[in-house]
Amino acid sequence: MQLIYEKSVPGRRGVRLPASDVPAAPELPAALRRQEPAPLPEASELDVVRHFTSLSRRNFSVDTNFYPLGSCTMKYNAKALEEAAKLFAPYHPMVPLLPHGASFSQGCLGLAYELGATLAEITGMDEVTTQPMAGAHGEMTGIMLIAAYHEAKGNRKKYVVVPDSSHGTNPASAAMVGYEIITVPTAPYGDMDLDKFREVMTDEVAAVMMTCPNTLGLFNPHIQEICDIAHDHDALMYYDGANLNAILGKVRPGDVGFDVIHVNLHKTFGTPHGGGGPGSGPVGVKKQLVPFLPAPRIVKYDDGCYGVDAPAHGSIGRTSGFFGNFGVMAKAFAYITMLGRDGLIQVSEQAVLNANYVMSRLKDVYDLPYDQTCMHECVFSAARQVKNGVHAIDIAKFLIDKGYHPPTVYFPLIVKEAIMIEPTETESKETLDAFIAVMREAAELAESDPAVFAEFPKTMPVTRLDETKAAREQNVCYFGC
Amino acid sequence: MSTASYCPNTPEEVREMLAAMGASSIEDLFRPISPALRARSFDLPEGMSEFEMLHRFEHLAGKNAQHLSHFVGGGYYDHLIPAVVDHLSGRAEFYTAYTPYQPECSQGTLQALFEYQTAICRLTGMEVSNASLYDGGTALAEAAMMALRITGRNRLVIDGAVNPFHREIVRTYLANLDVELVEIGPKLGMEDDLRLRATIDDATAAVLVQNPNFFGSVSDFRRLAADAHAAGALLVVSAYPVALGLVESPGAMGADIVVGDGQSLGNPLSFGGPSFGFIASRKEYIRNLPGRIIGETVDKKGERGFVLTLQAREQHIKRHKATSNICSNQGLCALRGLIFLSSLGTQGFAELARLNYDKAEYAKKVLGAIGGVEVMNGGATFNEFTVCLPKIAEEVVVALLRKGIAAGVPLGLHYPEMERCMVVTVTEKRTREEIDTFARHLEGILCS
């Protein structure tokens, strides 16, 4: 399909702006004035509509396809959430920061505050900041809070401990805050090796970052013990909330001993993923970390009004321009408001039911390296199919031709040829049965006609793409007219 | 019955599923979690239908002041958004997809982001762009860290006229790293950039400036770029994208890395987010860019297609050695930016910039004519300018807010020595009538 720049016709116009109602001002000095206008697409409004509508049809999405992308919680995004967020589109974030401005923004400040308070109850933490704009941003914020805590106490800390099954963002976030990383291997039973963990724990460890349930979809039965060991060294426990969808109302990380948590509103709380973002990654903390929370801090006064507090003395400072991805926060608060207590508990129960159902119906045809009751997702290996030359990526491409977005493949890194399936609670048994049938068909085909996989996908606008060429040539910008 | 639920399985289906896996109840599946670990509380209200929720949210939104006349900017701007932006970005095939890991079934997102990267390069005068960062402030912090990596140096110089919030974000990002951050006291314009230029030394990784700066002044950074380059340092420019329809591109002025906030390109105010940050650079620095990058390639049949490229920089491969921890970005907001730019086109975008400039110049003249009000910017401005008042600006701003006018950012918030000054923003949305009304009320308040 042509680029919109290639469809451009010099002189063609799209949307028109209002005519000016003021006199034309003298020109900017020549040294400051743009010499060549930025060459943008020149298209009619209909050209633009056709172009982007055509592009949209070259995508799989939750609304068009089952999308069991493990670790990403691709649940249905209720349409009412979009309507809820639009209600807050016209409000400027500077207004409450102006002197006495908070009284002009009570609706927005109230929403952000009440969302934070609700997330604190859901996760068992004492206070939540909604500033972080994605999960990884929340991780970085959380680790900064931990660094500030240790600095205030005069602790000398150098390391952050992560299990080898962790999301790549965990070590990357800790490294951005200046920590060295210690990686602990996974034991044969599917959780961080407890003996190895004990060995690496010293007083120089600042934090332990855990995903629970972990990226194998397993709930760590030793989690309390891990928290205790960490706390013995005054290391704080960080909870990666990517998998919170499994435990709503069942477990609260704060009750178990975690000190800091981020939640992904775009995963657990039903906001759309936007083709890569925007997300939102609020961070919850226990009391001892509250003084370090980022600015601005939204507060509720005794009279029920909301305000913006001056940052506390120890605050880590500002991590986003204003109040985080407010539009995403509004959607998540709408989701929580609609589902309520029982609805959220049902989310986790049905998510876990769906994942276990898929796992039980596929484990005779795919290797299941950690064969236990899973939580909201399950991780198979294509090792058996690889013997016939069919890899996880080949099965993924077969699924595309069958109309399914593939599961996450090759993650977690500790499972060879990993196929990570997260069905989510919003999929019906019929959808799961159809998906299971296609996965079984893939396994059979891998036995009967493995060579055929190289051709998949055949039904998409493009066949398999040459990623080496892309990396070598680095054409990331169109240089034509 | 009135609670919304998006779980479709009927009780009968649940029974069938449990039977198929040999479990007796859903609670059975949670048995790996011992009772000692179970939630001690989950005290949330009952749910409700979408209709009741929306009713409640309308009430909540109504608690904000309605229909303010916005002359306030500070990094976020009240611009027009063509209807096509909402409609096209509202196609669920875009907004309910995720990161395009599987390129064959994600060509829509991938091609759109390639076109977005192209638009950013063309606006900024750069050669390569990523597929978006969180916002303008974090993009500046990422650019600072990128400059540290490229040069292997550990000293940064930042102009005090860079948006104070963005400077705060840079400070927060660098707080735990072994980096010297030198902040140069604010100047209203670059008429005298000697102090900034004099601060560059052989240990400096980059100089960070903003154009137009926080006070609204538009500057020529060519001399600064030359000095930085002579010392082996990079020039990082934070740019306001709408200004790039009229003001010379940072690339043409010698910038090495250009960042900014894309909110003004088709994203609503939405109380500060989501918008998107952009980052673009010279091609030689592409491997040091943070975040996702889309690259062009071909498929097995030689057809053009697009993929995530240079992923070996990223956290899911490199883990703690990645160029950044960013995973989710602001893809949908970047798509909105591309649709916005496409619907206006070359000429429309230049006209948009011109409208902003003309209206701000008109407002400058009208406000500057009020007794005791002085326009502080010596040189050129775009759509923001700084005025000094005969009263404390915060008090004036409060009085105007009560009249439905968000007059500007009082500078005392950020620069205690400038408590009588405020920055006024005039976008294309402000009518001559609104500007005149603003001036009338301001005059009334100053006389009282």
pLDDT in tens, B82-138: 999 999 999 999 999 999 999 999 999 999 999 999 999 999 999 999 999 999 999
In three-state secondary structure terms, A426 is: coil
| Position A313 confidence tier, pLDDT thresholds 50, 70, 90 | confident
Residue A134 and residue B300: Cβ atoms within 8 Å? no
The distance from CA A422 to its chain's CA centroid, rounded to whole angstroms, is 14
Would you say residue A23 has pLDDT above 90?
yes
Percent of chain B with pLDDT over 90: 93
Of A31, A177, A337, the CB nearest to B176: A177
Q: What pLDDT is stored for residue A311 in this prediction?
A: 75
Find, among B290, B257, B296, the residue nearest to B124 by Cα. Answer: B257
Model pLDDT, residue B317 = 87
Q: Max CA-CA distance within chain B?
A: 84
Give the number of other Cβ atoms within 10 Å of residue B200's Cβ: 22
Average pLDDT over chain A reads: 97
Residues of A in contact with B396 (CB under 8 A): none
Mean pLDDT of A122-145: 98
The per-residue DSSP string of B31-96 comes to TTS-GGGS-S-----B---HHHHHHHHHHHHTTBPPS-EE---TT-------HHHHHHHT-HHHHT
| Residue matched to tokens 């409640």 | B56
Interface test with B, best of A4, A51, A52, A474 (most B CBs within 10 A): A52
What amino acid occupies position B297?
A: T
Tokens for A32? Answer: 């400051």
**Which contiguous run of DSSP H or E holds residue B209?**
strand B204-211
CA A137 to chain CA mean position, Å: 10
The H or E element that residue A274 is part of is none
pLDDT, residue B337, reads 98
CB atoms within 10 A of CB B361: 21
DSSP-derived pairing of the beta strands B128-129 and B277-281? antiparallel
The predicted structure's pLDDT at residue A407: 98
In the predicted model, what is the mean pLDDT of residues B272-285?
98
When the pLDDT of each residue in chain B is averaged and rounded to a whole number, the result is 96
Which residues make Cβ contacts (< 8 Å) with residue B55, sequence separation at least 6? none
Q: Does the beta-carbon distance from A338 to B4 stay under 8 Å?
A: yes
pLDDT at site A187:
94
Q: Using CB atoms, which residue from B123, B129, B328 is nearest to A135? A: B328
**pLDDT of B195 higher than 90:** no
Mean pLDDT of B408-413: 95
Residue B314 with chain A: CB contacts under 8 Å: 168
CA B239 to CA B211: how far, in whole Å? 5
- B190 pLDDT exceeds 70? no
pLDDT of residue B1 exceeding 60: no
- Using the Cα atoms of residue B12, residue B13, residue B19 and residue B23 in order, give the sign of their dihedral: negative
pLDDT at A145: 98
User: Is pLDDT of B446 > 90?
Assistant: yes
Q: Which residues of B touch A344 (CB under 8 A)?
A: 42, 44
Is A52 in contact with B91 (Cβ distance < 8 A)? yes
Q: Mean pLDDT over residues B201-223, rounded? A: 96
| Predicted local distance difference test score (pLDDT) of residue B196 | 85
3-state class of B13 per DSSP?
helix
Does residue A274 carry a pLDDT above 70? Answer: yes
Closest by CA position to A277, among listed B99, B34, B286 = B99
Structure token pair of residue A66? 């089952």
Residues from chain B that touch A399, judged by Cβ atoms under 8 A, are: none
Q: Which residue of A has its CA nearest to B351?
A: A17
From the list B20, B351, B406, which residue is nearest A360 (CB)? B20
E strand or H helix that includes residue A415 = none
Tokens in use for A88? 């807050």
Residues in contact with A150: Cβ distance below 8 Å, sequence separation at least 6, in sequence order = A156, A157, A206, A234
Q: Give the C-alpha distances (Å, rounded to integers) separating B427 from A130, A402, B163, B337.
A: 29, 50, 18, 17
Chain A, nearest residue to B343 by Cα? A14
For residues B345 and B352, give the distance between their C-alpha atoms in angstroms, rounded to a whole number: 10
Q: Is A46 exposed, middle or buried (0-12, 13-18, 19+ CB in 10 A)?
A: exposed
Cis preceding-peptide flag for A37 (omega within 30 of 0): no
Question: Cα separations (Å) of A209 from A136, A225, A258, A435, B37?
Answer: 12, 14, 10, 34, 18
Cis peptide before A93 (omega within 30 of 0): no
| Cβ atoms within 10 Å, residue A454 | 12
Q: Per the CB < 8 Å rule, is B342 touching A4?
A: yes
Q: Which residue in A108, A118, A219 is closest to B64 by CB distance?
A: A108
> B192: pLDDT confidence band, cut at 50, 70 and 90?
low
Residues A191-249: tens digit of each pLDDT: 999 999 999 999 999 999 999 999 999 999 999 999 999 999 999 999 999 999 999 99
What confidence score (pLDDT) does residue B186 get?
A: 79
DSSP structural state of residue B10:
-
Model confidence at A310, pLDDT cuts 50, 70, 90, reads confident
Which of B319, B352, B375, B414 is the best mutation test for A, with the most CBs of A within 10 A?
B319
Block residue for tokens 């009334």: B444
What distances in angstroms separate CA A469 from CA B97, B299, B310, one per listed residue? 26, 10, 11
Taking CA atoms, B23 is separated from A217, B14, B18, B29, B212, in Å, by 18, 11, 5, 7, 65
Distance of CA A453 to the CA centre of its chain: 31
The residue in chain B having the minimum alpha-carbon distance to the alpha carbon of residue A12 is B345
pLDDT digits (tens, 9 = 90+) for B287-303: 999 999 999 999 999 99
Residue A52 has pLDDT above 70, yes or no: yes
Q: Which value does ipTM take for this structure?
A: 0.98
> Nearest CA to A107 among B58, B363, B395, B285?
B58
Q: Residues near B162 by Cβ (< 8 Å), separated by ≥ 6?
A: B140, B208, B209, B210, B213, B214, B238
DSSP state of A333: H
Point out the least confidently predicted range of A152-156, A387-391, B319-323.
Answer: B319-323
* CB atoms near residue A451 (< 10 Å): 9
Greatest CA separation found in chain A? 77
- CA B218/CA B209 separation, integer angstroms: 11
Mean pLDDT along residues A353-373: 97
Q: Are A99 and B397 in contact (CB < 8 Å)?
A: yes
Asked whether the beta carbons of residue A40 and residue B341 sit closer than 8 angstroms, the reply is yes
Nearest by CB to residue A327, choosing from B249, B274, B305, is B274
Alpha carbons B387 and A310: distance in angstroms, whole number: 26
**CB-CB under 8 Å, A144 with B175:** yes
Residue of A33, A69, A129, A176 to mutate, interface with B, max B Cβ within 10 Å: A176
Separation between Cα atoms, residue B415 and residue B422, nearest integer Å: 10
Our CA-based measurement puts residue A470 at a distance from the nearest CA of chain B, in whole angstroms, of 5
Min distance B425 CA to chain A CA atoms (Å) = 12
Average pLDDT over residues B253-279: 98
B234-239 and B204-211 beta bridge pairing: parallel
User: What is the Cα–Cα distance from B387 to B380, expressed in whole angstroms?
Assistant: 14
Residue closest to A218 by CA, chosen among A360, A377, A414, A364: A377
The side-by-side arrangement of strands in the sheet containing A127-129 is A127-129, A283-285, A260-263, A236-241, A205-211, A159-163, A180-184
SS3 B2: coil
Task: Say what the alpha-carbon torsion angle A397, A398, A403, A408 is, to the nearest 10 degrees.
Answer: -50
pLDDT digits 0-9 by tens, B131-158: 999 999 999 999 999 999 999 999 999 9
Label the pairing between strands B384-388 and B374-375: antiparallel
| HSE toward the beta carbon, residue A347, CA cutoff 13 A | 29
Residue A434 phi/psi, 5-degree rounding, is: -65, -40
| Structure-block tokens of residue A110 | 């109230």
* A205-209, B302-306, B375-379: least confidently modelled range: B375-379
Residue B191 has pLDDT above 70, yes or no: no
Provide the 10 A C-beta neighbour count for residue A304.
8
Residue pLDDT, tens place only, A164-186:
999 999 999 999 999 999 999 99
Please say whether the beta carbons of A279 and A107 come within 8 A.
no
Mark yes or no for CB contact A171/B26 under 8 Å. Answer: no
Q: Which residue of A has its CA nearest to B322?
A: A172
Q: Name every chain B residue with its beta carbon within 8 A of the beta carbon of A219.
A: 32-33
Q: Which of A24, A250, A276 sits opposite B98 (nearest CB)?
A: A276
Q: Between chains, do A107 and B297 touch, taking CB under 8 Å as contact? A: no
In this complex, which of A32, A95, A147 lies closest to B218 when CB atoms are compared?
A32
* CB distance B79 to B242 below 8 Å: yes
Residue B188: pLDDT band (50, 70, 90) is low
